[in-house]
Structure 1
Amino acid sequence: MASRHNYGSDPSQYGVLYGEGPVAVLIHGGFWKAEYGLELMDALCADLASRGWAAWNIEYRRLGNGGGVPFTLDDVGAAIDHLSELPGVDLSRVVTIGHSAGGHLAAWAATRENARVAVTGVVSQAGVLDLQRAWDLRLSNGVVERFLRGQPTDVASPIERLPLGVPALLTHGGRDDIVPVEISERFARASGASLIVEPEEDHFGHLDPGNPLWKAVRAWL
């Protein structure tokens, strides 16, 4: 059973809540672009809800519909804070779980100031955790420059906002040709976060509840 809740007035400012219990905030990827949406995380949400979690699958403004810095960041923060108004959630444990650009947002969320609802753990699935390196590599045709909208990388780049202050797990596929594994490796060295690399997996195995990359997340949780 899932229920939709708005955390703001924009059409993209909503989330879908599955289950009850400690909270997993699911943040989808797609390089912050409007053509990708929260349905990417539906299967993971259903899996978490079946295991006693409240899964909060959030949408946010993206490039092409009002997103970018600071608006996307504002939305993620507001969506997490909105948990204080939702039924059946245990705010003593709030873990952000994000894939790709969502992994970037999941880690960034742990570093935000004046949070009404605190993040207690982070899972980054092939996350874009170093925006300067992603810019240098011209990932997704240089999308980082569009996302930053003229702001410096340290406003939004998790590797420049350390320490996270909470436990963190990084998962990555060794065959990922969309977000190179070196980005998770760099972040792990800088932060001390745990890193699990599955050598034979690609960028999208993270979204399959039966995949070893997701099983590693479940075990860590």
Structure 2
Amino acid sequence: MTAQKPGPTTAHEEVDTWAMAPSQVRSFIDRVRAETDEQAAPGQRIQYGQDSGEQYLRVHHPPQGETRGLVVLVHGGLWRAELTLDMMTPSAVALAEDGWTVANIEYRRKGSGDDVRDSAEDLIRAIDEVRSALPGLEDAPRRLLGHSVGGTLAFGLAASRPFDEVIMVGAVCDLPGAAFAGLGGGSIAEFCGGGPDAAGDIYAAVDPLTLLDRIGSTTIRLVHGEDDDRIPPVQSRRLYRRATAHGRECSLDLVPGAGHFAFLDPASEPWGVATRSLRSD
């Protein structure tokens, strides 16, 4: 499915979010966060591991008190240490204001983890800690949203713990294929301990195409910018074809004109496409 082409209605029109270079990401995030409610932005910090700098999450509660359920956010960044959960803070605040309890997870990346399996393990530990720290959400809706490789990791979490829906935004859906293509300047192979031929077991532990049979009844929503030159849309198309061929409940939205980073701004129309199901409950 192709979404309607977004118009120039974002609050951040002065930033070209459609074709943003990686060097602009940090300044863009800082600018979006500057317009985020300063009282809401920090969130409730919860530690779930011994690494205080990496193994923690921030919970953002609905300001009105009553919650619609739990949304878990997983940031991307191709496991680069300098790209943190701050990437998703504006989204976390926006979803909390819309009535969701939001858990924004940090996890081990390059410099703190051995390989991608540490990242995947951290997400499982984090969600188990959320369940313990936030009782009362057992019967509430539970959703996952991950951007870029955060979508990859979110899919792996859905294969390990029950969720109603996983939303994968500009995600790496075929991890071996992404490594062979050299996406991310070799970052994938670097944090997977080598190429797919040399480290196939590591790739298989987190690759969505491999984990598809373990996803259970979780609904899969794929959202990708048609102009994404970082993680090309063919990545989402591959998982969509595989999932639908296996009878999984899966949808694909391709957003015309949107690049990889457009979805990080909750004032943008691409973000609205990505979170449509979260606003329809």
TM-score by length of 1: 0.93
Q: Report the 3-state secondary structure (helix = DSSP H, G, I; strand = E; otherwise coil) of the residue aligned with 1:129.
A: coil
Aligned to 2:204: 154
Q: Which runs of 5+ in 1 are unaligned?
A: none
* Other-structure match for 1:26: 73
Q: CA deviation at 1:89?
A: 5.7
Kept in 2, the 8 Å contact 1:69–1:148? The answer is: yes
Q: Deviations for 1:26-61, whole angstroms, at most 9, x for unmatched residues?
A: 100000121110000011001100111011001000
RMSD, matched Cα = 1.5
Distance 1:37 1:180, change over 3 A: same
| AA of the residue aligned to 2:276 | A
Deviation at 1:67, TM superposition (A): 4.6
Higher relative contact order (CA 8 A, sep 6+): 2
Cα distance change on mapping 1:172 and 1:84 into 2, 3 Å: same
Give 1:73-92 correspondences, 5 Å limit: 73-87=120-134, 90-92=137-139
1:213 shift after superposition: 2.1
Structure 1 residues 209 and 136, CA gap change in structure 2 (3 angstroms): same
Q: Is 1:71 equivalent to 2:118 in the alignment?
A: yes
Match of 1:9 among 50, 56, 59: 50
Bigger Rg over Cα: 2
**Farther off after superposition, 38-47 or 18-27:** 18-27
Number of aligned positions between the proteins: 217
Given the alignment of the two structures, is residue 134 of structure 1 paired with residue 192 of structure 2, yes or no?
Answer: no
Share of identical aligned residues, percent?
A: 33
- More strand per residue: 1
2:241 pairs with 184, 189, 198, which one? 189
141, 153, 172: which one aligns with 2:224: 172
Alignment CA distance shift 1:101-1:89 (3 Å): farther
Contact 2:109 2:116 in 1 (8 A): no
Distance 1:211 1:64, change over 3 A: same
State which of 51, 58, 67 in structure 1 corresponds to 2:105. 58
- In structure 1, distance between residues paired with 2:179 and 2:47: 32
Q: Residues 75 and 148 of structure 2 are in contact (CA less than 8 Å); yes or no, is this contact kept in structure 1?
A: yes
